[in-house]
Structure 1
């Protein structure tokens, strides 16, 4: 009996000290107050487990959760290039000097479009890739001068 009381007291102590498992979601990564769409939810709602994410002319952010099959996600880049998310992250990692595994815990992508003046488009300078919490993000440049900010998701 004493053993059970001691175990119950320890559990109450853990609860009082915040030792319970939290059901709170980590803070959402946002930039410029943009709405963020969950790619994981898109995949979960897809009958075949594959989705296409169109980042052209978008005022949205796109959250890529940890553990998704990156080859099942097709990205239409701001420059209209089409590739798997896996290929995009390999390319972005080489531009930022990181390894693709650095993005394994998840990222949120925010596209920034180049202007459409002339046949080649205008070269847009790199956006300031700082999320709303003040954290710096990586930037990936498209061939037409568009950019995508890649911000790490909170763990």
Structure 2
């Protein structure tokens, strides 16, 4: 009697374990993640659209961070809630804030019945840097003067004043 009970008990436990295993298998698939425009400029607005093929999604969040590759600085991470448009499509928009950012990096998180899952980790997108975005106020690579002309002008003015004093 004990042998039959043990076999039935083990069989029930195995079937129950198989049921729980199949119930907990969660296929985390992303059909599409789209950022419009594909190469945004600093301080511009972007649209984020994600198609998430996972069942049981309660919430979706997009964590975005603007970074400057020249200084190695990443600015404050922003946590954006994605609005559900239909069964698998989520969307939000965001205004990039940092004028010196050269790229953005992001994570996509979802909350399901089973907890939080990270679908995309540290994906990077380069920003479109305009030629007018340099520090001297000129036109970037077009070799036109910017603020440095003030220094040149002051230098010439000082030299003229020195020569004028020597002639007296």
What TM-score results when the alignment is normalised by the length of structure 1? Answer: 0.29
More strand by share: 2
What TM-score results when the alignment is normalised by the length of structure 2? Answer: 0.28
Q: Based on CA coordinates, which of the two structures has the bigger radius of gyration? A: 2
